[in-house]
Amino acid sequence: MTRFCSKDKIPGADVSCDKAPTICKATDIPAALVRLSPPPAARLPVNRCNLPAEALASLAFQLAPVALEVDGILPLHQPLFERLSFVDDATQRAQLFMQYMTAHFLLDDAPAQGLTAHARIDRSRLDYLRLLRGWLFDSEGREGAVLKGWVESRFGLLSGFHRTALGGSDCPQRAAFERERAQGLYATGALEAQVDLLYAYAQHELAQRHAGARHLTLYRGICGRDALAPLATLPDGRSVVQLNNLSSFSASRERAGEFGDRVIECAVPLPKVLAFARLLPGRLQGEDEYLVIGGVAAVRRVD
């Protein structure tokens, strides 16, 4: 199996070698810092994947990631992934995936989804593609609330920001976020289940396109409203921060600089990538954007 070293380049992203000391070697980092994870108030006690929220959101996970699986998705859709394994072309795999999504979720048959002529609201066309396009257009909109809510449900990481900082369960801002999420899911065709399969497909594609890699070097522009306060500083100078439960990164440092007055660089574990713009060629805009699941991470300021 091919291994990528720190100077190797992969189209669309910089991938650092698994053996790079700033990524995988933690011998010079105090054990307490390696175990650092978001506080209990930022996590749910249960989730729907193979690791608890405390583990998958920790700095240790970034240093040494393992595969994440949403409960039940791979066994349920095993025939899809078996067929995908025989297709070498990424565009053909994307077409096969989209055809499967349409058939499995009845995306072209609104009556079969339960829509009637007397329905008050027709949301049958709000599918995973429109959800992704909505995020790429405005991650703080209704589609963003749905996707951040999906991360809460599946990975147990609570959103800390949506248009404004979100407090505890009794704060008005979080209540408004929960309402917007519910409105985004209302009268849709199993929208969160569609995202489950989208995530599994994205992980399959990342493994195909970046064989042997465990991280992507991605960039994020930040500004005053969402500046990340350092939790600690590593011996190599990187800052340890807590990312929101879902946020946008870019494979392009230049593009990231268009969205903030500072740019941070992060070695993002592949299992933390929910989706990316190049995942479905010809169907999504924003060619360099990646949707990254949050937690504690080491980042470096590069602007």
Return phi, psi of residue 16, to 5°: -90, 150
- pLDDT at res. 228: 85
| Boundaries of every domain in the chain | 9-70+214-301, 73-205
Quote the pLDDT of residue 124: 60
User: What is the pLDDT tens value at each position of the chain, 303 positions in all?
Assistant: 333 233 333 333 444 444 443 444 456 788 889 999 999 999 999 999 999 999 999 999 999 999 999 999 999 999 999 999 999 999 999 999 999 999 999 998 666 666 666 666 665 668 999 999 999 999 999 999 999 999 999 999 999 999 999 988 889 999 999 999 999 998 788 999 999 999 999 999 999 999 999 999 999 999 865 568 899 999 999 999 999 999 999 999 999 999 888 999 999 999 999 999 999 988 887 668 999 999 999 999 997
pLDDT for residue 5: 34
pLDDT, residue 142, reads 94
| pLDDT at residue 115, rounded to an integer | 61
Query: What whole-number distance in Å separates Cα of residue 251 and Cα of residue 237?
Result: 22
Q: What is the pLDDT of residues 166-221, one digit of tens each?
A: 988 889 999 999 999 999 998 788 999 999 999 999 999 999 999 999 999 999 99
pLDDT the model gives residue 168 = 84
Predicted pLDDT at 174: 95
Please report the pLDDT score of residue 113 as a whole number: 63
The encoded tokens of residue 190 equal: 């199993």
**3-state SS of the chain?**
CCCCCCCCEECCEECCCCCCCCCCCCCCCCHHHHCCCCCHHHECCCCCECCCHHHHCCHHHHHCCCCCCECCHHHHCHHHHHHHCCCCCHHHHHHHHHHHHHHHCCCCCCHHHCCCCCCCCCCCCCCHHHHHHHHHHCCCCHHHHHHHHHHHHHHCECCCEECEECCCCCCHHHHHHHHHHHHHHCCCCCHHHHHHHHHHHHHHHHHHHCCCCCEEEEEEEECHHHCCCCCEECCCCCEEEEEEEEEEEECCHHHHHHHCCEEEEEEEEHHHEEEEHHHCCCCCCCCCEEEEEEEEEEEEECC
